[in-house]
């Protein structure tokens, strides 16, 4: 089993990754980012939706949202979040490696470092090709992850996240000459420690842009955060977006 298929990992670390504070931040991002200034009725695929932190506010803005995730536990959390918020989101259990709905979407989102999980580089490119196929002509793919240059700014500093009843220590190790990153997590709670280790690809902006282009995307741009700041020394994340050629643009 690959680490990303381990449902226990997502459940155990949910409090760190999908906290109420992050949910509130995401609601602000969806309200303010030019990326999400989408006309009502825009068809959005939230690929690797997790507990619907983006899907809920997007549906609240009138988008027709489908959330895809591999984890039944995350989809159940997404369902509960949609119910609590009173919004409709179509939720589908599927693997991003194989999920394709030809021409069905105006926007495909893959956010919060949900990309680069597959050990084979070709499989990660395949996810981009799947997204291209699932987009209508003129539709856009947006990927948000930690860029190589951003990670280089804080690598080597272990991070400590305090929880109500414990804490998490996160340590990063760079592998294969900056090709991949392994993050070791230790969750200490109630006198027990739970270890997890995740390894994923780390891309520079130029590398991810080239992958978008090789998958057929045009007008590929790189940004340093959801406010679409440049990807430079002030970048906090790596956001890459590209358009499936052949139609009117879906977003500004």
The reply on whether position 226 binds ligand SAM by CB under 6 A is no
Nearer CB in complex with ligand SAM: 94/188: 94
Nearer CB in complex with ligand SAM: 113/134: 113
Lay out the site mask for ligand SAM across 72-111 (x = CB under 6 A, - = otherwise). Answer: --x--------------------xxx-------------x
The reply on whether position 58 binds ligand SAM by CB under 6 A is no
Tokens of 27: 């609601």
Least distance from C-beta 242 to ligand SAM, angstroms? 19
Query: Of these, 29, 44, 53, 65, which contacts ligand SAM (CB under 6 A)?
Result: 53
The reply on whether position 9 binds ligand SAM by CB under 6 A is no
Least distance from C-beta 62 to ligand SAM, angstroms? 20
The reply on whether position 243 binds ligand SAM by CB under 6 A is no
The reply on whether position 208 binds ligand SAM by CB under 6 A is no
CB burial of 219-241 (b: ≥16 within 10 Å; e: otherwise) equals ebebbbbbeeeebeeebebbbbb
The reply on whether position 202 binds ligand SAM by CB under 6 A is no
Least distance from C-beta 53 to ligand SAM, angstroms? 4
Nearer CB in complex with ligand SAM: 38/127: 127
Lay out the site mask for ligand SAM across 13-52 (x = CB under 6 A, - = otherwise). Answer: ----xx-----------------------------xxx--
The reply on whether position 115 binds ligand SAM by CB under 6 A is no
How would you write the chain as a 3-class SS string?
A: CCHHHCHHHHHHCHHHHCCHHHHHHHHHHHHHCHHHCCCCCCEEEEECCCCCCCHHHHHHCCCEEEEEECCHHHHHHHHHHHHHHCCCCEEEECCCCCCCCCCCEEEEEECCCCCCCCCCHHHHHHHHHHHHHHEEEEEEEEEEECCHHHHHHHCCCCEEEEECCEEEEEEEEEECCCCEEEEEEEEEECCEEEEEEEEEECCCHHHHHHHHHHCCCEEEEEECCCCCCECCCCCCCEEEEEECCCCCCCCC
Residue 64 near residue 41 (C-beta atoms within 8 A): yes
Query: Of these, 64, 70, 107, 215, which contacts ligand SAM (CB under 6 A)?
Result: 70
Instruction: Give the binding site for ligand SAM (CB under 6 A).
Output: 4, 10, 17-18, 48-50, 53-54, 69-71, 74, 95-97, 111-114, 117
């Amino acid at each position: 089993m690959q680490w990303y298929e381990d449902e226990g990992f997502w459940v155990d670390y949910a409090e760190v990754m999908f906290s109420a504070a992050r949910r509130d931040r995401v609601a602000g991002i969806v309200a303010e980012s030019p990326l999400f200034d989408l006309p009502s009725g825009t068809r959005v695929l939230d690929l690797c939706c997790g507990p619907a932190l983006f899907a809920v506010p997007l549906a609240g803005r009138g988008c027709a949202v489908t959330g895809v995730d591999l984890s039944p536990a995350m989809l159940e959390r997404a369902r509960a979040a949609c119910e609590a918020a009173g919004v409709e989101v179509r939720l589908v259990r599927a693997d991003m490696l194989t999920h394709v709905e030809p021409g069905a979407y105006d926007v495909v989102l893959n956010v919060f470092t949900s990309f680069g999980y597959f050990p084979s580089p070709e499989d990660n490119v395949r996810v981009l090709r799947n997204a291209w196929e699932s987009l209508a002509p003129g539709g856009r793919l947006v990927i948000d992850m930690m860029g190589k240059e951003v990670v280089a700014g804080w690598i080597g500093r272990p991070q400590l996240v305090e929880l109500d009843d414990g804490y998490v220590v996160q340590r990063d190790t760079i592998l294969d000459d900056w090709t991949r990153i392994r993050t070791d997590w230790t969750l200490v709670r109630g006198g027990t420690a739970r270890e997890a280790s995740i390894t994923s690809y780390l891309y520079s902006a130029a590398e991810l842009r080239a992958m978008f282009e090789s998958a057929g995307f045009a007008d590929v741009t790189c940004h340093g955060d959801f406010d679409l700041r440049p990807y430079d020394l002030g970048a906090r994340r790596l956001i890459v977006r590209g358009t499936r050629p052949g139609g009117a643009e879906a977003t500004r």
